């Protein structure tokens, strides 16, 4: 599960996303990361 989470974080970082809703990516659950990744990223 952690490798999947890390992969999503790496993909978001490669797109220039470091925070979502004021939280660092590593603070978010896999569900929240996938939700943002698939629905379009809301960058703060």
pLDDT tens-place values along the chain, 44 residues long: 689 999 999 999 998 889 988 999 999 999 999 988 888 765 54
- Domain residues for the domain of 30 are 2-39
Number of domains in the chain: 1
6 lies in a domain?
yes
Q: Which two tokens stand for residue 37?
A: 């990744």
DSSP, res 27: G
34 lies in a domain?
yes
pLDDT at 41: 60
44 lies in a domain?
no
Residues 6+ apart with CB under 8 A from 2: none
- Tell me the C-alpha distance between 14 and 34, whole Å: 15
- Tell me the C-alpha distance between 42 and 37, whole Å: 9
27 lies in a domain?
yes
8 lies in a domain?
yes
31 lies in a domain?
yes
pLDDT at 38: 86
- Tell me the C-alpha distance between 5 and 3, whole Å: 5
């Amino acid at each position: 599960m952690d490798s999947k989470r890390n992969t999503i974080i790496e993909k978001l970082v490669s797109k220039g996303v470091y925070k979502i809703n004021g939280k660092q990516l590593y603070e978010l659950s896999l569900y929240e990361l996938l939700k943002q990744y698939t629905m379009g990223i809301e960058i703060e």
